[in-house]
Amino acid sequence: MKNAAIYQLFFLSLCLGLFSSCSESTQTSGGIWDETQNTLAVRIRLASGEPAVAAKVRLVTETAIVEDSAVADESGIARLKRPSQDGFIEVQEKSGVARNRVLAGDSLLTDTLKKPASLQGKLVVQTAMPRRLFLFGTSYAAEVSESGAFRFENIPDGEYAVLSEGESEYVFWETLVANGNAAAETELAEPSPDSVLVEDFERSVATNRFAALTGASWWFTSSDSLSHVEPESITDALVRSPESFETSQSAHYTFVVDTTLADAFALCGFDIGVSFWQDSTTSYDMSQTDSVSFYIRGSGHVVMQFAGLNEAGEVESWDFEFDIPSSTEWVRVAVPPSGNETWEKIKSRMRMITFLSTRNMDLWLDKIVFHGVSAQDLFRDLLGR
């Protein structure tokens, strides 16, 4: 099997944008509010469409630094300094809240207020209890009681990475979803210093558990022109049934590969963080990784590909091949990448992991874990203080 040729075909399809993923943005530019082009005008509307007079507006960097703040005038417009880097606009008003991404150089943004949401839960720790928690990329913070209880109030709907302060970095606890309904209390276990759960498929979204940190981390599928993966979207592949792992929600894909085509392939996989089409240089340090484990069942031959950048910035992949052990029983597989020559070249600059096959395959997946590495190791640039 020509693994190099298969991966090159896969990577070419990535660069050409043949994967589908979803994002949304409401910002537009034009500078119509300020002739000097030095300000950002944020137009705030109530749900009724009326101006949100006296709404409080903050410009927050991606590292949660409040760069500027203002109060909306009688037209519902707040004027802030024009952002020099990507970040977020946070809005609070007595009838609602909003949060929206803003890009460096934007001059106009429109936000509509929505019903406030909340997040509440309890920390379970074996060491010292954190005094405060933070939501990554926001100015939102919550005090932690002696018993570990916490509550974030008056925040917009959305998915948030919950952090605490460590000695030299922020510690990633969990990704939680806030909505306008009554908030259920979530129990958060103290993060392990040497392993991190990447995916358990319980969130029913198209990204892995790092998405609230990276703004990306997409799951995707791809194939040659005659083959295909069913279903294409990870959200359609999620199954909760007696066949799932421990009756939780698991991913189930069917690979249909046309072997009459040279180098035929089909695959599913995920970006650790940003996709190559978003940023061709950002990578993630997995050099301390002992193994990558997951639970699997089904039938077929898997080529698990670890793709990263070498010192020259070129994409290389290390392949680990195995037959799925059982079609009926869930089996834990642990892949130890250390020591392989290609892995050694790319381990500190990892980009994505894929599950590829060159023939038909029935694939069930669950509980993907990186061992020997923490979220702080992977995302040191994001979580460093």
Q: How confident is the model at residue 27, as a pLDDT?
A: 39
Report the DSSP pairing between strands 117-124 and 185-189.
Answer: parallel
Backbone conformation region of residue 32, classed left if phi is above 0, alpha if psi is from -120 to 50, else beta: alpha
**Chain position carrying tokens 């760069």:** 67
Cα–Cα dist 228/253, whole Å: 10
Structure tokens at 215: 């703004």
Q: How confident is the model at residue 182, as a pLDDT?
A: 61
DSSP code, position 86 = -
What value does the mean pLDDT of the chain take? 88
Distance from the Cα of residue 200 to its chain's centroid: 13
Mean pLDDT within 39-55: 94
Confidence of residue 289 (pLDDT cuts 50, 70, 90): very high
Q: How confident is the model at residue 280, as a pLDDT?
A: 82
Residue 116: how many other CB atoms lie within 10 Å = 18
Cα 351 to Cα 175, 217, 224, 272, 384: the distances in Å are: 21, 10, 21, 6, 20
pLDDT, tens digit (0-9, with 9 covering 90-100), for 172-214: 999 998 887 766 688 999 999 999 999 999 999 999 999 999 9
User: What is the pTM (predicted TM-score) of this model?
Assistant: 0.85
The residue count of the chain comes to: 385
SS3 59: strand
pLDDT, tens digit (0-9, with 9 covering 90-100), for 221-230: 999 999 999 9
Q: How confident is the model at residue 168, as a pLDDT?
A: 84
Q: How confident is the model at residue 124, as a pLDDT?
A: 95
Q: How confident is the model at residue 331, as a pLDDT?
A: 98
> Maximum Cα–Cα distance for the chain, whole Å?
68
Q: How confident is the model at residue 167, as a pLDDT?
A: 82
16-25, 78-87, 260-269, 358-367: segment of lowest average pLDDT: 16-25
Q: Is the pLDDT of residue 97 over 50?
A: yes
Q: How confident is the model at residue 1, as a pLDDT?
A: 44
Q: How confident is the model at residue 317, as a pLDDT?
A: 95
Cα–Cα dist 134/64, whole Å: 9
Mean pLDDT within 257-267: 95
